[in-house]
Amino acid sequence: MSTNTLPATHSANPSSSKRPALFKRPLLTAITATLFASIGLVGCTSSNDTELNNSKKESNTADASLNVANNDAVSVATVDVDTVKGKVTLAMNPSPIVVYDMTLMQDLAALDVAVDGKPSGLHLDNLQSKNQPDPKEVGTVFEPDLEALNAMQPQAILVGSRMAEKYNALSSIAPTLDMSIDTADIYESSKQRLHDLGALFGKSEQALKLQQNIDGLIEQTQALTKNKGNGLVVMVNGNKLSAYGDKSRFGFVHTVLGVPMVDSKIEDARHGQPVSFEYLQKTNPDWLFVIDRSAAIGEDSAGAQAVLDNPLVAQTTAWKKDQVVYLSPDSYLAFGGYNQWIQDLTAIKTAFSAAQ
C-alpha cells in the first residue's frame, strides 16, 4: 500500500515556488493515498485481531474441555455435597484429590474420574479409571500418611467408613468429605453418593446412566426373587460363621430384593452375629447368600464352599436345591459401589433364574 505514495512525494519540490498548481495536486494525491493506506491497515489489523481473539477463545475452550475431562480444571462453580457431617460446599473438579474408600474409588472409576492419591494394599482391580496414571499411595484404608498428604496438597479428601474416624486429622490438611454409606439404607445412600460424585466432577449425566443400569438390574431381579422362599446372608471367615440381617451392609438382599429373612432376630453388628453350622441346619434357609471374607482380603485358607460342605449344612433346603449364591469380594470391600451392585445383582438374578 505504501508504494503508491512514493511517486507523489518525490514529484513535489518544496523549493519551487513558481509551480504552486503542480505542487498542490501531487500533495493532495499523497495525502489521499496515505489516508486510504492507513484505513486499509487499520481494517486489516482489526480483522486480524478479531481472528486472533476468536482463535484464542476456541483454544481456551478446548483447553478447558480437556481439563474438565481430566478433572484438572480450575472452576469457579461450586457444588453442595451431602456428607455424614452435613452439606459441604466445594468447588467443582477439585484436583488433586485423595480417596480413602474403595466404594468411592469404584464409583469414581465408573465415572472415569482420575484419583491422585489412594491407600495401599487394595484387593480389587476395578478402583481406578482405565486411562489414568497410577495414583500415589498415601497411607492405608485405616491410617493416612499425613506427610505424603501435606506434600501433595490435595484440594479434597474423600473418606468412607473405615477412615471416618480420622476425619479431624484429615480436615486440617484439606476439605474432607465423609461419604460413608448408610448400611441401614444402602440403596438410597449409595444412590445419593453416586449422584453427588457426578455433580462434583461434572459427570451428572454419566452418573444418571450408571444409576439406571443398577435400577434396571434391581427391577429384573425383584421379579425373580418374589415368592421364591426366604434367605440368610452368612459370612465365612476361615472356619467361623456370622449371620447378617436387613440393617447390615448386606441387607439389600432383604430390603431391596425382597427376600424374606429366615430369622428376623439376627443382631445388628458390624461383624455380624456369630452362628454355627447347627444354626444353619436349624433355621433351614431356602437360600444362602455367602460372603467369603478370607478370599476377599487375599488370605490363604479354605474357601467358603469347602467350609460349608458338611453334613449339617447339607440338610438345608438351600444346599439340597443348589440355592447358594456367592456374593462378590466387592460386597465386603466396596459395598454400595457401582461394580458391587452390578456383580451381585447379576449373580443373584442368574441363580434365581435357574431356580425350580
Helix (H) or strand (E) holding 198: helix 186-200
- The pLDDT score that the predictor gives to residue 204 is 97
- The pLDDT score that the predictor gives to residue 25 is 42
Do 90 and 177 meet the contact criterion of CB atoms below 8 Å apart? yes
pLDDT tens track, the chain, 356 positions? 444 433 333 333 333 333 333 333 443 344 444 444 443 444 444 444 444 444 444 333 333 333 333 454 445 699 999 999 999 999 999 999 999 999 999 999 999 999 999 999 999 999 998 888 999 999 999 999 999 999 999 999 999 988 999 999 999 999 999 999 998 899 999 999 999 999 999 999 999 999 999 999 999 999 999 999 999 999 999 889 999 999 999 999 999 999 999 999 998 888 899 999 999 999 999 999 999 999 899 887 678 999 999 999 999 999 999 999 999 999 999 999 999 999 999 999 999 999 96
Q: Is 272 left (phi over 0), alpha (psi -120 to 50) or beta?
A: left
Q: Rounded distance, CA 11 to CA 26, Å? A: 7
Helix (H) or strand (E) holding 233: strand 231-237
β pairing state of 240-244 and 273-275: antiparallel
Question: Nearest to residue 349, comparing CAs of 256, 225, 229?
Answer: 225
Do 245 and 266 meet the contact criterion of CB atoms below 8 Å apart? yes
Question: Nearest to residue 76, comparing CAs of 66, 86, 90, 62?
Answer: 90
| Cα end-to-end span (Å), the chain | 92
What is this structure's pTM? 0.78
Which residue's entry shows cell 431381579? 221
Question: Nearest to residue 234, comparing CAs of 212, 261, 196, 208?
Answer: 261
Which residue's entry shows cell 486499509? 40
Question: Nearest to residue 102, comparing CAs of 345, 342, 337?
Answer: 337
Strand partners, 143: none
Q: What is the DSSP string of 123-146?
A: --S-SS-TTSPPPEE-B-SSSB-H
- The pLDDT score that the predictor gives to residue 356 is 64
Q: Rounded distance, CA 206 to CA 199, Å? A: 10
